[in-house]
Chains A and B, each alone.
Chain A
Amino acid sequence: MNMLEIRNLHARVEGKDILKGIDLTIRAGEVHAIMGPNGSGKSTLSNVLAGREDYEITEGRVTFEGKDLLALPPETRACEGVFLSFQYPVEIPGVSNMVFLKAAINARRKHQGLPEIEAVDFLAWVKDRVKKMHMDIKVLQRGVNEGFSGGEKKRNEILQMLLLEPRLMILDETDSGLDIDALKIVAEGINTMRSPERATLLVTHYQRLLDYVKPDFVHVLAGGRIVKSGGPELAQELEARGYGWLDAA
């Protein structure tokens, strides 16, 4: 079954057209990688899917598990199982990670008609995942991303993903700014979540992450359109040749 269907999607911000007709279908169980030059619209696409309201959708539609995704506010999309790992996670001083994670988990449970999670269960569950991400348990008391290094922020995104167990994972350059060990940990986190019921959209500039998280499809986004799609070998070709040759094609 098609989990995500993007048809002729056009989006604009501040009077500027950024997405100019995106078509993409993702089925449950698949991993799609999106590569492309800076400013080509990868984060715009990710944010349009997550529900950021700064963008004006001028044409096209998106269905997620049969529902009109664009009609839903971001929080409903999240509760329905869409997760965006931010390219630039936001720092929220004064809101502890613990409070934040609990609020996020309970929001999702409420949406599913479940009671709030028991405090002990929550703690055990969070501790287990924190360990999986090789993070210090003390980060739970700190403000969300407050004073985190770039790599720590990315790890924190994956921690949230492990806790929220989404069905569609959109990872916007989660590999950028990670050291070699952190990249492995993040890749492991992503792979833990891979399942026949889940799908992944990986935005990346580097082949390296794709060595750990094998994609089924690779797409090139340039100038607001998907200009080429292929298998994992396309990523290797891009790594070797850059994007220039695509213009000619």
Chain B
Amino acid sequence: MSLRHYTDAFQQLAVQLPSEERTAREASLQRFTQAGFPTRKLEDWRYTDLSALTDQSYALPSPATPDLSHLHLEAATAQIFVNGGDGAFTDTGREGGAVVALNAAFARNGLDLDIGPGQSLAQPLHVLTWTGHRTSAMTHLRHRIRLGANARATVIFHHAGEGAYLTTQVTDIDLGPGAQLTLYRVQDESAGSTHLAQSDVRLARDSVLDAISIDLGDGLARHDLNVHLDAPGAQAGLYGLYAPSGRAHVDNHTRIHHRAPHCGSREFFRGVVAGSARAVFNGKVVVHEQAVKTDSETRVANLLLSKTAEVYAKPELEIYNDDVKCAHGATFGQIDEDAVYYLRARGLEADVARALLTQAFAQQVIDRITHAPLRALVTRRFLERLPQGAMLETLL
């Protein structure tokens, strides 16, 4: 195993760091090099192979000023991080596996949002990360969101880029009592990209998380979303649409920990897998002993658009007490050819019919997006990748 390129890159970075920060980050780097990138021997990484990253050489990013106007979002305040941005290198924390350790060694500060008790964000925040280089490079960002008691916010993470690169994004979120966060994540990275992300959300009493995750990217993407329902009355809704095509690979791992009584979690993911793409969904709900009156449901449905598309979707439940209401299920299917025929018999071209049926399937998740400009952007990007999908835009 050689992670030489990563240690070399770190030496270049280290000279820019204050000595205290350097020592802390050296420890993170060491944790990373000792563990190495996760291999498929690990249960949580069975279907996602990162071994190619080991010998990859990614340079430290350099500044760029791309035209990002096509990614502009109305009715939102933009915060843009191009090539990792120019945030400070502050303490990144030490918890987590190899990917988090890699991030901790290199990361700059990304979003740092702190909303005081009872306050709310006037407008959704559009946090756009964009990566693009002439040579392949890597960017690492650390985001933090803290909502005080009864605070409210909507945050839209939007990840895009050009060319070949590696990006890691680690996000820490704390919701105070009664706080409400709507968290969007749109992963729209390039075909040559590897996107590794982890988000940890801790929910206090009666707080509410709505997390809507849309994976449209063409590269390899993995997101670990860990939700901790730590106090009574906390509610989490996790919704997702993953739509890889071509040779894309997308992996969503969610963990919902019910650690207190009377908490609820809803998880609803849909996958549309085309071409030779591969999708992985693993949604695990752990109901700890003290979490009585837990109400939890996980559903994942998949639509396979080609014979070479692959999907591994598994909801899991681990329950350590009897007084709970839990349900889960996974479905896999193809486009209903009877419906295609019906639409064709009314004059719609076969590709248009298929696009319409695919869009209807995905719409169940897209409709969860209450921010209209974002919904429009996601719909457009989703349709663009379907044969004849663009034709539907005028129709809907």
Contacts and interface: CB of A to CB of B under 8 A. Distances in A.
Given A92-B339, A99-B395, A102-B395, A78 B345 contact: yes
B345 A51 contact: yes
Contact of A74 (B339, B341, B357, B363): B341
Given A92-B357, A92-B360, A111 B338 contact: no
Contacts of A84: 345
Contacts of A78: 344-347
Contact of A94 (B338, B346, B347, B364): B364
A164 B347 contact: yes
Contacts of A92: 336, 339, 342-343, 357, 360
B361 interface: yes
Contacts of B322: none
- The residue among B341, B344, B346 with the most chain A CB atoms within 10 A of its own CB is B346
Q: How large, as a class, is the contact surface on chain B?
A: 20 to 34
A94 B361 contact: yes
Contacts of B394: 116
A119 to B, nearest CB: 11
Contacts of A44: none
Interface stretch (B6-14, B197-205, B348-356): B348-356
A240 to B, nearest CB: 35
Contact of B347 (A89, A90, A107): A107
Contacts of A86: 342, 345
A53 B343 CA distance: 13
B349 A95 contact: no
Contacts of A116: 394
B396 interface: yes
A6 interface: no
B346 A164 contact: yes
A99 B344 CA distance: 14
Given A90-B342, A92-B357, A95-B357, A104 B347 contact: yes
Contacts of A102: 395
Contact of A100 (B336, B341, B343, B349): B343
B386 to A, nearest CB: 14
Majority DSSP secondary structure for residues of B touching A: helix
A79 B356 CA distance: 18
A174 B356 CA distance: 26
Contacts of B349: 75, 107
Contacts of B357: 92, 95
A111 B347 CA distance: 9
A20 interface: no
Contacts of B363: 94
Contacts of A111: 347
A150 interface: no
Contacts of B345: 50-52, 74-75, 77-78, 84, 86
B347 A73 contact: no
A42 interface: no
A160 interface: yes
A93 interface: yes
A75 B336 contact: no
Contact of A75 (B344, B356, B361, B364): B344
Interface in B89-112: none
Contacts of A79: 347
Interface in B290-339: 336, 338-339
Given A78-B347, A95-B360, A104-B347, A89 B395 contact: no
A75 B396 contact: no
Contact of B356 (A53, A74, A77, A103): A103
Interface in A29-74: 50-53, 73-74
A93 B358 CA distance: 11
Given A92-B342, A103-B395, A75 B360 contact: no
Contacts of A144: 342
B344 A94 contact: no
Contacts of B360: 92-95, 143
Interface in A99-138: 99-100, 102-104, 106-108, 111, 116
B350 A89 contact: no
Contacts of B361: 94
Given A92-B357, A93-B360, A100 B339 contact: no
Contact of A104 (B338, B341, B348, B350): B348
B338 to A, nearest CB: 5
A95 B343 CA distance: 11
A84 B394 CA distance: 27
A170 to B, nearest CB: 10
A211 B348 CA distance: 34
A189 B242 CA distance: 44
Contacts of B348: 75, 103-104, 107
Nearest to B361: A94
A52 B339 CA distance: 12
A116 B345 CA distance: 19
Given A94-B364, A95-B356, A75 B395 contact: no
Contact of A73 (B336, B342, B350): B350
B344 A51 contact: yes
Closest 8 CB pairs of A and B: A94-B360, A107-B347, A78-B347, A104-B346, A90-B342, A74-B344, A75-B344, A95-B360
Given A51-B344, A107-B348, 5 more contacts: A53-B341, A77-B345, A90-B341, A103-B395, A107-B349
23 contacts: A52-B341, A75-B347, A75-B348, A78-B344, A78-B346, A78-B347, A86-B342, A91-B339, A94-B360, A94-B361, A94-B363, A95-B360, A99-B396, A102-B395, A103-B395, A104-B346, A104-B348, A106-B395, A108-B347, A111-B347, A160-B346, A164-B346, A164-B347
